[in-house]
Amino acid sequence: MTDPFALFSAWFAEAEASEPNDPNAMCLATATPEGAPSARMVLLKGLDGPEVPGRGFVFYTNLESRKGAEIAANPRVALLFHWKTLGRQVRVEGRAAPVSPEEADAYFASRARLSRIGAWASRQSRPLGSRAELEAAVEAFDSRFPGEDIPRPSHWSGFRVTPERIEFWRDMPHRLHDRLLFTRDGEVWRSGLLYP
């Protein structure tokens, strides 16, 4: 196989059929400009098809969160998908860039109403005095936007991770695992095996 996106799509379809919870969950690793790492789980919300130049993996977040600030300062990130029931994982390394406002608007509009209210109410990653403070903010924005027409806040958007490396790992007996690495060389993907 010469296209890592096609292989990822096939593996992801199997994960959607077999994983009991959140097959689109991925660990996102970022780093500060000084190199201090940070990792957290986010959800894959888009995978570009072959017609999209600079194809990538899309997720959404509060741009003022810790991950948003770290990506703004250092766009090099890593993603990790782990599907335990399949004995597989996929590692992605690349650069994150903002999605278009139109993409962010479209995804934001597809979210549940309370999730959209939450995007306004949460000052993600900043200190919170009490749960009551968060609940009061949710109530305030719920009153501010009484219907379904809730605009996307300017501090909430998404990122597309354009990969430079994608590694596919498959569990094998006696820890003699399969590892297939794709590396981007311009617009061409090169592949090779790695020792387990």
Where exactly are the structural domains of the chain?
4-193
Q: Which residues, other chains included, contact 107 with Cβ-Cβ below 8 Å and sequence gap of 6+?
A: 45, 46, 60, 158
Length of the chain: 196
The overall average pLDDT reported for the chain is: 95
* H helix intervals, 64-112: 66-73, 101-110
> Over the stretch 45-95, which tens digit does the pLDDT of each residue have?
999 987 777 799 999 999 999 999 999 999 999 999 999 999 999 999 999
Segment 121-149 shows an average pLDDT of 95
Q: What is the pTM of this model?
A: 0.94
Number of helices (H), then strands (E), in the chain: 5, 9
CA–CA dist 87, 5 (Å, integer): 19
CATH 2.30.110.10 fits 4-193, yes or no: yes
Pairing type for strands 46-47 and 57-62 reads: antiparallel
Tell whether the model's pLDDT for residue 129 goes beyond 90. yes
Which of these is catalytic: 91, 175, 184, 190? 175
Q: Which two tokens stand for residue 101?
A: 């406002």
In the residue annotation, 131 being an active-site residue is answered as no
